Amino acid sequence: MKKILLFIFICSISFAQKKTIEQRVDSVLALMNLEEKIGQLVQYSGGWDTGTQTSRPREGHIELIRKGKIGSLLNVFGAEETKKIQKVAVEESRLKIPLIFGLDVIHGFRATFPIPLAEASSWNPSLVEKSARWQAIEASSAGIHWTFNPMVDIARDPRWGRIMEGSGEDPYLGSLMAVARVKGYQGNDLSANNTIAACIKHFAGYGGAEGGRDYNTVDFSERTFREVYLRPFQAAVNAGAATLMASFNEVGGVPSSGSNFLQTKILRKEWKFDGFVVSDWNSVGELIPHGVAKDLKQAAELGIKAGVDMDMEANAYYNHLSELVNEGKVSQKIIDESVRRILRIKFRLGLFDDPYKYCEAEREKNTVMSKQIVQATLQSAREAMVLLKNKNNLLPLKKDLKKIAVIGPLANSKDDPLGGWSQQGNANDVVTVLEGIKNKLGKSTEVNYEEGCTILGEEKNGFTKAVELANASDVAIVVVGESRNMAGEASSRAKIDLPGIQEDLVQSIQKTGKPVVVILMNGRPLTIPWIQENVSAVIETWYLGIQAGNAIADVLFGDYNPSGKLPVTFPRYVGQIPIYYNHKNTGRPYNPNDHYTSYYQDLENTPLYPFGFGLSYTTFTYSNLSLNKNKIKKNESLKVSVNVKNSGSVDGAEVVQLYIRDLVGSVTRPVKELKDFSKIFLKAGETKKVEFTITPEKLKFYDINMRFVVEPGDFKVFVGTNSEDVKEASFSVVD
Ligand code: GLC
């Protein structure tokens, strides 16, 4: 009888529309005992040991859910599967608090989009928002309430495999991409059944791992932390992100998953974040190997007191929070605060009002891999590609060529275009490069394929056939790069040239004297100076997802004029790392005429391709860079305009980029900082006037006293087609 009354009471709460979410949270919290409160802070993964497409809870978890001892599951999906489990929580537990189901929907649930680094290469935030929207529509139809994305870690070291998951080296571009994905996932109504909670990760500083070695030590100044690595997190929090994920790494001696400075001082006190923080996988437990906790009990105490609300898979909160509270080491208040944050997001998701609204099998069947979503992956893939070289306009190729050789270990791979973190992405859904080219061309063109070599192997016996095929063809398209598992988590590489003997293969094909196009398929910048020097055409395609082949064929044969720009610098050699565009000037900036300056003796001291670089099948001419004033007060804005002409013969899109340099500050300032960009479309011969506004916000930085301010002084403004090829002007800020 008591249960029924309680159920009616909870339901009456949920129907009391006028009650605010905070009041409803308080009502539920007041009913909970300590065990049930701790249960909300516990997250476990589904068990891959079930061997089915849909992973199921591990042995014993259903009983724990029935007892209210688990608040969230990850890696469990499927409308029917999640409904079955949700029913246990909502109909069989004492307080009927719904579970929240999380999953790594990083670039798609089943319909795989280009990897995030590829999408960032589009420099098209609205396209990226649409992509995230489609991903949310698909994942939510499969019972998912919450994605562990966007990953917003700034990465300046391409040895780090997770560079593929983020938006590159720049905080401004990274912030726009982070906001676009939060908006795409969460939409305008988080309680709708086709929106999902975002999770900004990995908070924070994870991309700064020393040596680009995953999980490694991170140590940089608070100023760098705030100005570079924290910027995208702050932008995403300001955009209303529902959750964050604490990172594995330490920063300056304090592991993020036990850092009060990060999870409370910055996130809650400064940024006023009111959602919740989930740990990374066992990252609370890893406070022990980090050496700041002697055992799991101390790790639990550090984590919850830091402000990490939910424990993913460490068993720390499950096993020790109750005794920590009973021993007076952790206050009930701290527990209540974390529970409140989690309940708040569950209410915002509408899970209390209708815990089964994500569990409609019919919707899942009609949504997953729908035509519109597949089409959306194609447009994302087109805009993600970066044309790195096109000597003598070899590209676009003619569609009436007689014979085309398609060569290389990635040319017909069904698996690799999915990239890392592809979730339920299925290789059978992938259009390979070879298939895309065949789809594009009529029967009059003979398209033949030779693998040539494998990605990592040292065997050259496939070269002969590949060279013969190239010799017998009008053009050779060589698809090389990394396999999908060479970039992503725990996939750092000390050498970032083409793996195996792939470059030897390219050289052998180049020696035939036939026109050669190199297609790169990879998850990080690669050091390919020989290819850049010797091959006529090079396209960076990253991992483009299920429509890779069709998108690449669209670019190869001119049905899409490439418009991508690099979100990350390509070094010539791994020894140049870290190399990034927004570097400091130093006291001895490189001067080729002065021995005693900052450079390497044994190579050309420039990137292979600079940040923001990308060519087109047309040309764009910049002129009339002008400022509406050359002097502004600290609280005033400045208007910048430039004329951009499509001076070629093909319609195309151009990303007009605006950088500034603060020449003198109370602390050293980068030689360039991206502050705005505009992706415009110009018909052949068309000219557009592009205007930007430099607001005081764009001039602020952390001064010598760590105040975020505008300082008076002289500035340069640069506008152009990439971070190096720019026109410049000057202005001053006066007190
Ligand atoms: C992984 C990753 C994190 C992911 C989580 C859940 O270790 O670091 O990005 O969201 O575990 O799969």
pTM, rounded to two decimals:
0.96
Protein residue closest via CA to atom 6 of ligand 1: 281
Give CA–CA dist 670/686, Å, rounded. Answer: 34
Rounded to an integer, what distance in angstroms lies between the CA atom of residue 357 and that of residue 403? 54
Mutation test residue for ligand 1: of 55, 72, 100, 148, the one with most atoms within 8 Å of CB: 148
- Atom in ligand 1 nearest the alpha carbon of residue 281: 11
From 104, 215, 313, mutation site for ligand 1 pocket: most ligand atoms within 8 A of C-beta: 104
Ligand 1 centroid to residue 490 C-alpha, Å = 11
Could you read off the pLDDT of 226-246 as tens digits, one per residue? 999 999 999 999 999 999 999
pLDDT in tens, 77-104: 999 999 999 999 999 999 999 999 999 9
Task: Give residue-wise pLDDT tens across range 122-162.
Answer: 999 999 999 999 999 999 999 999 999 999 999 999 999 99
Which listed CATH number (3.40.50.1700, 3.40.50.1260, 3.40.50.300, 3.90.79.10) goes with 373-569? 3.40.50.1700
Average pLDDT over residues 291-319: 98
Asked whether the bond before 607 is cis by omega within 30 degrees of 0, the reply is: no
Distance, in Å, from the CA atom of 469 to the CA atom of 473, rounded to the nearest integer, reads 6
State mean pLDDT over 368-375.
98
CATH dotted code for 41-47+103-364: 3.20.20.300
**C-beta 201 within 6 A of ligand 1:** yes
The answer on pLDDT for 45 being more than 80 is yes
pLDDT reported for residue 129: 98
Residue 594 is among the residues annotated as catalytic for this protein = no
Superfamily of domain 620-734, CATH level 4: Immunoglobulins (2.60.40.10)
Average pLDDT over residues 19-29: 95
| Ligand 1 centroid to residue 43 C-alpha, Å | 13
Question: Distance, CA 144 to ligand 1 centroid (Å)?
Answer: 16
Q: Say whether pLDDT at 7 is over 70.
A: no
Find the catalytic residue in 280, 311, 429, 554.
Answer: 280
Average pLDDT for residues 496-506, to the nearest whole number? Answer: 98
Q: What is the mean pLDDT of residues 390-409?
A: 98
pLDDT, averaged across the chain: 96
Ligand 1 contact, 148 CB (< 6 A): yes
User: What confidence score (pLDDT) does residue 49 get?
Assistant: 46
Determine what percent of the chain is predicted with pLDDT higher than 70. 96
> In sequence order, what are the residues at sequence separation of 6 or more whose Cβ sits closer than 8 angstroms to the Cβ of residue 630?
729, 730, 731, 732
| Partners of residue 727 on adjacent β-strands | 719
Whole-number Å distance between alpha carbons of 38 and 338: 9
pLDDT of residue 6: 60
What pLDDT shows up at residue 87? Answer: 98
Domain ranges of the chain: 41-47+103-364, 373-569, 620-734
| Average of per-residue pLDDT across 599-611 | 96
Q: What is the pLDDT of residues 545-597, one digit of tens each?
A: 999 999 999 999 999 999 999 999 999 999 999 999 999 999 999 999 999 99
pLDDT at residue 19 above 90? no
Question: Is residue 256's pLDDT more than 80?
Answer: yes
Residue 684 Cα to ligand 1 middle (Å): 46
pLDDT in tens, 683-732: 999 999 999 999 999 999 999 999 999 999 999 999 999 999 999 999 99
| CA pseudo-torsion sign 298, 301, 307, 309 | positive
Question: Is the CB of 92 within 6 Å of ligand 1?
Answer: no
Question: Two tokens at 262?
Answer: 């990060």
- Average pLDDT in the 319-333 region? 98
